Amino acid sequence: MSEQSKYQRVLAELAQRIEDGYYLREGRGGQLPSQQELQAEFEVGNTTLRKVLDMLKDRGVITSRQGEKGYRMTIHCEAAADPGASNG
């Protein structure tokens, strides 16, 4: 699988989960799993995952901030539900 199709697959799946409220239902309080957890789950490397997360940040779907245990990524439901947010 090419690098482009990997990131597209992960981007589509992660965006769909966010839109569907998956991470809210899983008791995560609007927080995405850690980057290490996402890498393991999607079986991708750091470069691919960072590209996906950067695209979601650029669209305003998630934000990240440095915390005690690394970066915390917070989901912004309004942006995830906005069809115009995926343009770009």
The Cα–Cα gap between 38 and 59 comes to 19
Domains and CATH numbers, the chain: 3-81 (1.10.10.10)
Could you say which residues of the chain have pLDDT below 70?
1-4, 26, 67-72, 77-88
pTM to 2 decimal places:
0.74
pLDDT at site 83: 43
Q: What is the DSSP letter of 7?
A: H
pLDDT at site 70: 53
pLDDT at site 55: 92
Helix H, strand E, coil C: the string for 24-78 is: HHCCCCCECCCHHHHHHHHCCCHHHHHHHHHHHHHCCCEEEEEECCEEEEEECHH
